Each structure stands twice: as C-alpha cells, then as structure tokens.
C-alpha cells in the first residue's frame, strides 16, 4: 500500500500507535526521505508536542527560525522583539525598560502593534540574548509574537473606566492571557475581550472573541482578519468568568489535539463542523478532560523562553561559532 | 589542503548549523549527521537570507526567508529555482570541526 497519509491520518496514528519520537514517525509511517523536510518536520514536531507533552522532547531543529530564535526574522536578517503586555496593560516602568532597550541596542523602529503591545524592530541576532536579559530583569516575558501559539488577548477598558461596560473585560483578558501564554497551537491564536457589544476590542474577528453583556459572556470562535476575513461563530453563552475561562481553555485544547498544523481555528472548524465542536465541549466530563490535558501541557511548556536563553550557556549559541576575521595576520 | 579548527562538533546542533565569520564573508557550517559537516556561503542566492537559520534535512538546507532549498554538496538550488552558493571543504576529526584554511583569506605560506 503506497498511499500518501493526510495530516489527520498522521495525527490519528501518532496517538493510536503511541509514536513518541520523530524517528518513530518516519519509520513506522514509511517516510520516504531520510529525516523529513522543512514542511513536515515542524508539523510532526508540533503533533508530538501536543500529543505527548511529557514523553516527547521539543526539537528546535524542526522549527522555523522564528520559533527557534524566539524572535521574528525580518527581510534583512535582523529580528523583531515583542514583550508581552498582559491584556494590553503596561506600566511606566515597563515602558522605561523598553525605551532604554531601544536606545542601548540602537533599535531603528519602535512600533505599536495591532495586538496592543510594542514591537522593537531591527535587532541584530547576536544582540537578542542581551536585550532579552534587560527586558526580563524589568519583569517582562516573551510575547510569542513569532509563535504558532497564543499571541495576544486584546481588551477594552470595560467596567473599570467605560460608562458602557458590562463586565471587567480587561481583567478577563489578563486572566486568559496568563492562563494560555506559552502554549503551542497548530497556528497562531489571537483573542479579544470586549466589555459590551460596541466591541472596541474587535473581538468578533479573533480566533476566540468574547463579548461581555449584562447577563454574562458571549464566546465566539473561528474569526480571522488575515488573508481571509471571518466573523466569529457563536460557541456558547455563559454566566460567569470561571465558566468563560473553562470553555476557552477546553476549546483551545480541542483545537490543539485535532487540527492540522497551520490550520487556523476557522479552517479547522470548517472541516469538523461547529456542531461537533459544540457537542464535544458541551459534555462536562470531556470539557474537564480537555482542561486537565491543557494544564498538564502547560506545566511543561509555560516557561519564558527569553529568560532561559538569556543565560550565558544558551546565549553563546546566538554568537558566531568562530570569528576568523580576528586571526592575526602573519 | 591546510585546515583550520573552528570548534567542537557538539557546538553545532544535529540537523542544524552555526555561522562562522571570515574575511570572505559569513560561512555556514551545517551538521547533517552525527559526524557529517558541510561548509557553504551563508548567503542565499535568492535575496540573501541567512542559511544558518534554515531547516536542515538530508544534505540540504531550506532558506528561512522564502524556502529555497539548497544542496549542501553541490551548492545548487533545487527544484525550479536557479542559483548557487559557494561550497568549502569541511570535515570532522576527533570531535573537532575543520574547514579549509583558505577561508582565513590569506595565501598559505
Ligand atoms: S466595548 Fe463597550 S465597554 Fe468596551 S470600551 Fe467599547 S463601549 Fe466601552
Ligand atoms: S532569500 Fe533565500 S529563499 Fe529568498
């Protein structure tokens, strides 16, 4: 039988045959290449991380440069650095640290992003560990602006400041971001929480968007504003913040376990059907299982990649292996 | 041929690469197997992408900017793309990585 396996087949076989390494996948599923290619390696690495968070070791050599370097490569080979700003909230101290870093490393462009944070563009690869060290010391962590993972949770000011606010949208956004950051997903995941249907956080075009109303929280999924523009589809309406958190986490985990690598939630939902997603998540026991599986994965993967790589042992890998231009002339 | 020692093989991740600065420009040293290395120009013939940041598979590297695939043995771009990178002699001896000394940019005595 020589028939190409689909990604969905591969995911099913990784689970059912308990394949826990890339070598096992290549061997058992009859790969024709020696060790895959730039298309399959990141996908298989993701599937193994998602299905075997405890057993499998993440392979940096099977990741695109951005996820390996924890920064976005730019067209001139420099990188961009985006620290996390929980729910779009920052402080004078954080802003000072960002401004100091911009000065110290001669950052040519400082840009406010659409995800409510600040992008330092044009940082040299060799400077990355040092700039991370400075930002880490000011209490910031990676914003994962380069990751197939949780990006931002955009919020409006909600009941704290707005006269129309029905719930604490900023607070819920911060809670969601603190819960979900550091998780790897099939594609990037963007979220938002708006404090009322006026929707200032543009929640209705996010992968997960919450609109607060007087009676609770309307959770929509499968929105997008990229190559395709999609409005979210209603997933569920819940009364409390805790329920909102539970549903969002369970949704993300269901997506992590089932979607094809590089399918945004809207593409995945179009394949499996919103009804199936709603039915699966509507089962309380399954929801609890999904949340527990997500928490287990986070116990391993929710760690700041910048802090780890700012340490001397790791930082030296960002420098050239050798500099022969310094060799003394004879 | 004379050689120059640039570091330990274990300083290059398996199926990964490191950059070496030379007087002739940046060179990428790839480790495609436990004890197999290749040295090439680090600059992609398409638009100059840094090849040491690419994904290494078989004896090939995929450029991180627009996914050109380059053969590390011949230096040729594969598939529909046309272009070539300079290749240099490289080998592993006693756990050390050696590359051709001409990369020092001076004539051997
Ligand atoms: S979405 Fe509603 S609560 Fe939030 S800022 Fe806009 S008007 Fe105010
Ligand atoms: S620069 Fe390498 S593929 Fe475009």
Task: Return the axis-axis angle of helices A274-282 and A284-301, rounded to nearest 10°.
Answer: 90
The yes-or-no verdict on residue B93 having pLDDT over 70 is: yes
| Average pLDDT of span B47-71 | 96
Cβ contacts of B48 on chain A, cutoff 8 Å: 77
Helix or strand holding residue A103 (H, E) = helix A92-104
> Domain for residue A179, yes or no?
yes
Examine the domain organization and report whether A59 and A186 are in the same domain: no
| A216 and A281 inside one domain | yes
Share of residues in chain A with pLDDT > 70 (%): 98
Average pLDDT over residues A281-291: 98
Quick check: A1 pLDDT over 90?
no
Residue A278 maps to a domain? yes
Average pLDDT of the residues of chain A = 95
pLDDT tens-digit profile of B64-78?
999 999 999 999 999
Q: Quick one: A169 and A302 in the same domain?
A: yes
Which of A125, A146, A167 terminates a domain? The answer is: A146
Percentage of chain B surpassing pLDDT 90?
89
Q: Which of A89, A154, A196 has the most ligand 1 atoms within 8 A of CB, as the residue to mutate?
A: A196
**Co-location of A86 and A163 in the same domain:** no
Q: With 60 as the cut, is the pLDDT of residue A276 above it? A: yes
Atom of ligand 2 nearest to the CA of B48: 1
Tell me which residue range forms the domain holding A101. Answer: 67-146
Check residue A330 and give its pLDDT: 44
Q: pLDDT by residue (tens digit) across A97-143?
A: 999 999 999 999 999 999 999 999 999 988 999 999 999 999 999 99
Instruction: Give the number of domains in chain B.
Output: 1
Q: Across the interface, do B16 and A61 touch by the CB < 8 Å criterion?
A: yes
Q: Check whether B107 has a pLDDT greater than 70.
A: no
Domain holding B94: CATH number?
Answer: 2.102.10.10
The whole-angstrom distance between A134's CA and the closest CA on chain B is 24
Which of the four pLDDT bands, split at 50, 70 and 90, describes residue A328? low
Express each pLDDT in A48-99 by its tens digit.
Answer: 999 999 999 999 999 999 999 999 998 888 999 999 999 999 999 999 999 9
Q: Could you say which of A127, A146, A165 is where a domain stops? A: A146
Assess whether the C-beta atom of B83 lies below 6 angstroms from ligand 2: no
- What is the domain extent for residue B57? 3-106
Answer yes or no: is pLDDT of A283 > 70: yes
Whether residues A49 and A14 fall in one domain: yes
Q: Indicate whether residue A165 lines ligand 1 (CB < 6 A).
A: yes
Q: Would you place residue B104 in the very low, low, confident or very high pLDDT band (cuts 50, 70, 90)?
A: confident
Looking at the structure, tell me whether residues A185 and A300 fall in a common domain.
yes
- Pick from A225, A77, A246: which is nearest to A172 by CA? A246
Domain count for chain A: 3
Are A82 and A57 in the same domain? no
What average pLDDT does the segment A273-302 reach?
Answer: 98
In contact, B59 and B69? CB cutoff 8 Å: no
Q: Are residues A203 and A253 in the same domain?
A: yes
- How far away is chain A from the Cα of B50, in angstroms, using its nearest Cα? 7
Q: Do the domain assignments include residue A50?
A: yes
Of B53, B103, B109, the CB nearest to A324: B103
- Residue A94 and residue A130 in one domain: yes
* Nearest atom within ligand 1 for CA of residue A162: 8
Q: How confident is the model at residue A227 (pLDDT cuts 50, 70, 90)?
A: confident
Q: Radius of gyration of chain A from Cα atoms? A: 21
Q: For the segment B14-38, what is each residue's pLDDT rounded down to a tens digit? A: 999 999 999 889 999 999 999 999 9
Q: Is the Cβ atom of A182 under 6 angstroms away from ligand 1?
A: no
Cβ separation of B53 and A69 shorter than 8 Å? yes
pLDDT at position A279 over 70: yes
Q: Quickly count: other Cβ atoms within 10 Å of residue B102's Cβ.
A: 17
Residue B9 Cα to ligand 1 midpoint, Å, equals 57
Q: How confident is the model at residue B109 (pLDDT cuts 50, 70, 90)?
A: very low
From A45, A79, A17, A27, select the one nearest A262 (Cα to Cα).
Answer: A45
Question: Is A319 part of a structural domain of the chain?
Answer: no
Same domain, A18 and A33: yes
Rounded percentage of chain A residues whose pLDDT exceeds 90: 90
Comparing CB atoms, the residue among B19, B67, B97 nearest residue A320 is B19
pLDDT band for A312, please (50, 70, 90 cuts). confident
**Is pLDDT of B84 > 80?**
yes
**Distance from C-alpha of A205 to C-alpha of A24, rounded to nearest angstrom:** 39
Residues of chain B above pLDDT 70, percent: 96
Lowest-pLDDT range of A2-11, A219-228, A270-279: A2-11
Q: Exposed (0-12), middle (13-18) or buried (19+): which is B26, by Cβ within 10 Å?
A: middle
Whether A74 and A219 map to the same domain: the answer is: no
Ligand lying nearest the CA atom of residue B45: 2
pLDDT (mean) for A245-268: 98
> Does the residue A324 lie in any domain?
no
In Å, how far are B38, B81, B86, B89 from B77, measured between CA atoms? 15, 6, 11, 19
B34 close to B28: Cβ distance less than 8 angstroms: no
CATH of the domain at A138: 3.90.480.10
- The secondary structure element, H or E, covering residue A253 is helix A241-258
What is residue A327's predicted lDDT score, i.e. its pLDDT? 62
In a domain, A328, yes or no: no
> Closest chain A residue to B6 measured between Cα atoms?
A322
Instruction: Report if residue A28 sits inside a domain.
Output: yes
What's the predicted TM-score (pTM) here?
0.93
CA nearest to B100 within chain A: A324
Domain boundary among A79, A112, A146: A146
> Which of A33, A41, A324 is the closest to B55 by Cβ?
A41
Query: Model confidence over A135-182: pLDDT tens digits?
Result: 999 999 999 999 999 999 999 999 999 999 999 999 999 999 999 999
Mean pLDDT of A291-305: 97
């Amino acid at each position: 039988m020589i028939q190409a396996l689909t990604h969905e087949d591969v995911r099913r076989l990784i689970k059912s045959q308990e394949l826990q390494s890339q070598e096992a996948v290549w061997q058992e599923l009859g790969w024709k290449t020696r060790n895959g290619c730039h298309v399959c390696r990141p996908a298989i690495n993701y599937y193994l991380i998602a299905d075997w968070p405890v057993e499998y070791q993440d392979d940096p050599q099977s990741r695109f440069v951005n996820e390996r370097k924890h920064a976005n490569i730019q067209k001139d080979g420099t990188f961009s650095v985006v620290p996390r700003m929980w729910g779009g909230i920052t402080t004078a101290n954080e802003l000072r640290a960002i401004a100091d870093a911009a000065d110290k490393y001669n950052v040519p462009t400082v840009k406010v992003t659409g995800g409510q944070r600040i992008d330092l563009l044009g940082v040299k690869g060799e400077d990355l560990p040092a700039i991370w060290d400075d930002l880490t010391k000011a209490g910031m962590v990676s914003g994962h602006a380069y990751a197939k993972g949780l990006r931002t949770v955009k919020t409006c000011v909600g009941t704290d400041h707005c006269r129309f606010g029905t719930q604490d949208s900023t607070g819920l956004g911060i809670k969601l971001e603190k819960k979900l950051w550091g998780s790897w997903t099939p594609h990037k995941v963007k979220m938002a929480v708006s404090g009322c249907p006026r929707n200032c956080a543009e929640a209705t075009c996010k992968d997960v968007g919450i609109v607060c109303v007087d009676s609770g929280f309307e959770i929509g999924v499968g929105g997008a504003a990229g190559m395709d523009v999609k409005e979210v589809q209603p997933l569920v309406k819940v009364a409390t913040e805790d329920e909102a958190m539970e549903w969002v986490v369970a949704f993300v985990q269901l997506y992590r376990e089932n979607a094809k690598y590089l399918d945004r939630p809207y593409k995945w939902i179009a394949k499996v059907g919103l009804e199936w997603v709603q039915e699966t998540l509507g089962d309380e026991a399954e929801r609890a299982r999904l949340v527990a599986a997500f928490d287990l994965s986070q116990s391993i993967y929710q760690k700041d990649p910048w802090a780890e790589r700012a340490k001397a042992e790791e930082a030296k890998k960002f420098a050239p292996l050798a500099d022969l231009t310094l060799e003394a002339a004879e | 041929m004379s050689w120059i020692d640039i570091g330990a093989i274990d300083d290059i991740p398996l199926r990964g690469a490191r950059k070496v600065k030379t007087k002739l420009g940046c060179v990428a040293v790839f480790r495609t197997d436990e004890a197999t290395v290749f040295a090439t120009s680090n600059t992609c013939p398409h638009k100059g992408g840094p090849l040491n940041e690419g994904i290494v598979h078989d004896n090939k590297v995929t450029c991180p900017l627009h996914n050109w695939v380059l053969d590390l043995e011949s230096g040729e771009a594969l598939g529909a793309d046309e272009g070539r990178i300079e290749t240099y002699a490289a080998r592993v001896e006693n756990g050390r990585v050696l590359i051709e000394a001409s990369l020092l940019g001076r004539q051997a005595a």
